[in-house]
Amino acid sequence: MKAIDGLKLSSVVLKKAREFGADIAGIANFNQ
């Protein structure tokens, strides 16, 4: 695997993690 492919993959994973974190925070706030 090329380094550039790894960077693209990690940026996609970070973006998904950020979206997932935002969803969790939204649910937590909704439940309070």
Q: What does the pLDDT read at residue 1?
A: 60
pLDDT, tens digit, 9 for 90 and up, residues 1-32: 688 898 999 999 999 999 999 898 888 888 77
Q: Tell me the CA distances in angstroms from 4 to 7, 10, 15, 18, one per residue in order.
A: 5, 10, 17, 21
Domain boundaries, the chain: 1-32
Looking at residue 25, its pLDDT comes to 87
Q: What is the pLDDT of residue 12?
A: 95
Q: What is the pLDDT of residue 5?
A: 92
